[in-house]
Amino acid sequence: MVERVIDVYEGFMHRLMATHAPEMNAIDLTMAQTKALYVVYAAGELRMTELATRLGVTSSTATGQADRLVELGLLERLADPGDRRQVVVRATPEATASLDHLRELNTRRMRDLLSRVRVEDLAVVERAIAVLGEAMDVDLAATESPTRHAISRGSHQ
What is the reported pLDDT for 119?
A: 94
Which spans in the chain are helix H?
2-19, 21-25, 31-43, 48-55, 59-71, 93-114, 119-143, 146-155
Task: Work out the average pLDDT over 66-70.
Answer: 94
Q: Per-residue confidence at 148, pLDDT binned at 50, 70, 90?
A: very low
Question: How far apart are alpha carbons 25 and 117 in whole angstroms?
Answer: 29
CB 20 within 8 A of CB 109: yes
Question: How far apart are alpha carbons 41 and 54 in whole angstroms?
Answer: 13
Chain centre to alpha carbon of residue 54? 11
Q: Where are the beta strands (DSSP E) in the chain?
A: 46-47, 75-80, 83-91
* Predicted confidence (pLDDT) per residue in 15-51, tens digit: 877 776 666 666 677 888 888 999 999 999 999 999 9
Q: What is the mean pLDDT of the chain?
A: 84
Tell me the β-bridge partners of 88.
47, 78
| pLDDT beyond 80 at 129 | yes
pTM, two decimals, is 0.66
What is the reported pLDDT for 143?
A: 67
What is the reported pLDDT for 31?
A: 81
List the domains of the chain with CATH numbers: 2-155 (1.10.10.10)
CB 86 within 8 A of CB 80: yes
* Predicted confidence (pLDDT) per residue in 91-106, tens digit: 999 999 888 887 888 8
Lowest average pLDDT, out of 56-65, 72-81, 133-142, goes to 133-142
Q: What are the φ and ψ backbone dihedral angles of 102, each rounded to 5 degrees?
A: -65, -40
Q: Which long-range contacts (CB under 8 A, 24 or more apart) does 109-118 make?
A: 109/16, 109/19, 109/20
Q: What are the φ and ψ backbone dihedral angles of 89, each rounded to 5 degrees?
A: -120, 150
Task: Work out the average pLDDT over 56-64.
Answer: 93
